[in-house]
Amino acid sequence: MFSKFKSVLSLYVIGCSLLLPLSSAQSAVFNPESFTLDNGLEVVVISNHRAPIVTQMLWYKVGAADEDVGESGNAHFLEHLMFKGTKRFKSGEFSALIAKNGGQENAFTSWDYTAYHQTVAKDRLEMVMELEADRMTGLILDDEKVLPEREVVREERRSRVGNSPGAQLGEVMRASQFLNHPYRIPIIGWDHEIEALNTETALAFYRKWYAPNNAVLVISGDVTVDEIKPLAEKYYGVIPSKEIPERIRIAEPPQNAARRVIKESHLVTNPSVTIRYLAPSYRTAGNNDPYALQVLDEIIGSGATSKLYKKLVIEEKLAASVGTSYSPNAYDQSTFALYISPRPGVEIDEAEKHLRQEISDLIKRGVSQDEVDRAIARMVDAAVFARDSLAAAPNVIGRAITTGGSVEDVEAWPERIGAVTSEQINNLMEKVFIDNQSVTGVLLPAKRVE
């Protein structure tokens, strides 16, 4: 629900509102159409007539980083509770109706947004729009529903984090990376604070943030904007707007020292080292730097053709796996990570030493314009295939808008990524790969006790 992964979708999650959007004639990614209802709900429609299927995604501009102090996990907890029923539909009826009509549905929470989605046959779209609109303001909760679900969430945390040394290390790394900003807190929450969540905290969060003027409705599939507009007006347009508080995020202080976190566990069979650096997101950068970091990510750490893989896995035979990870789709600061897992027989210290040497060599030697051009070509080629996916467009557009971007930013992605140069990347590496702005996480098997 809240794990990180690299995918074609990450190439598109655009959010730099300071860049000038392309005109509609130049738009070339998903070619969406959009409108805004009188109550403030933003609606985006992406026509995809390959099959008589439709995906509806409703995104709320609120996530774990917007929770009140001491109520970590409340956003994710409410996501669970949104399936517990309204005056019109009893608990569980939402999911039962969708399943009965051959559809699929789910939801997910991040630090910056919460999203609910359904995929159904085109002739069932009106049904899911009615269901989703109903629970936007009609949710009914009581202790009988809430308290058992709280234990479900606690069990989810135990299974995802309590039994995973890597997840435990990741939590402490993030808490070390962000000293003050709420990104330091796990999306699922700390267990002792989840235990204190209740009906009142969930309803307060719901009433504070869930409203049409704090949401984005994205519909993709065998539909047109002319078909969607009257349905959106009928089901969502009648919901009154409300005053939404400003998203106040505590600023992160300057970081002046490298941090190191070590986790040992008997459950670890493959040791690893991860180095994370603070990096700009689309919204915080205010320039083209996030696009340059995406291209750098592609060049040095994406797959078997990347520079790190060829050097440390194939040539030097030190690593079983190596790579990088960067996602610019954060409302606030992001991170750029590099990781390595050594081959059996190679000490973890030796693997880390070589990874750091590669980082140093990258900064000194840089990347060539030919490498940049080839990476951009691969990224743009991969992007073309995303248009065929029913889920790609609503995921990309929803993430963009909820993190400060726009439809125009999404559509401008090919041109902006194509403007990246080797000089820009080489200058940027010196600004991002700074030891004092990094956290190193080491995952090790537990030492045997003689």
Query: Is residue 254 domain-resident?
Result: no
Assess contact for 319 and 342: CB atoms under 8 A.
Answer: yes
Structural domain for 29, as ranges: 8-235
Query: Is residue 358 domain-resident?
Result: yes
Query: Is residue 248 domain-resident?
Result: no
Q: Could you read off the pLDDT of 302-361 as tens digits, one per residue?
A: 999 999 999 999 999 999 999 999 999 999 999 999 999 999 999 999 999 999 999 999
How confident is the model over 53-70, as a mean pLDDT? 98
Domains identified in the chain, total number:
2
How confident is the model over 10-36, as a mean pLDDT? 53
Q: What pLDDT was estimated at residue 3?
A: 30
Whether residue 224 sits in one domain with residue 263: no
Q: Could you read off the pLDDT of 191-229 as tens digits, one per residue?
A: 999 999 999 999 999 999 999 999 999 999 999 999 999
Which CATH number do you get for residue 434?
A: 3.30.830.10
Place 450 in a pLDDT band, splitting at 50, 70 and 90.
low
Whether residue 333 sits in one domain with residue 285: yes
Query: Is residue 379 domain-resident?
Result: yes
Whether residue 197 sits in one domain with residue 287: no
Give the pTM: 0.92
Q: What pLDDT was estimated at residue 387?
A: 79
Q: Which of 235, 250, 285 delimits the end of a domain?
A: 235
Place 73 in a pLDDT band, splitting at 50, 70 and 90.
very high
Q: Are strands 42-47 and 215-221 parallel, antiparallel or unpaired?
A: parallel
**Nearest residue to 316 via CA among 358, 370, 275:** 358
Which residues, 6+ apart, have CB-to-CB distance to 8 below 8 Å?
Answer: 382, 383, 385, 386, 392
Euclidean distance between the first and the last CA atom of the chain, given in angstroms as a whole number: 40
Structure tokens at 63: 């996530």
Tell me the C-alpha distance between 317 and 319, whole Å. 6
Whether residue 202 sits in one domain with residue 287: no
Place 131 in a pLDDT band, splitting at 50, 70 and 90.
very high
Mean pLDDT of the chain: 92
Whether residue 132 sits in one domain with residue 45: yes
Nearest-5° Cα angle at 241, 225 to 398 = 45
Residue 210's SS3 state is coil
79, 132, 193, 371: the active-site residue = 79
Whether residue 281 sits in one domain with residue 210: no
Whether residue 269 sits in one domain with residue 197: no
Residue 367's SS3 state is coil
Q: Could you read off the pLDDT of 260-271 as tens digits, one per residue?
A: 999 999 999 999
Establish whether 79 is a catalytic residue. Answer: yes
Quickly list DSSP for 48-111: -TTSSEEEEEEEES--GGGSPTT-TTHHHHHHHHTTS-BSSS-TTHHHHHHHHTT-EEEEEE-S
Query: For residues 367 and 6, which has the higher predicted lDDT (pLDDT)?
Result: 367
Q: What is the largest CA-CA distance in the chain?
A: 73
Residue 359's SS3 state is helix
Q: What pLDDT was estimated at residue 449?
A: 56
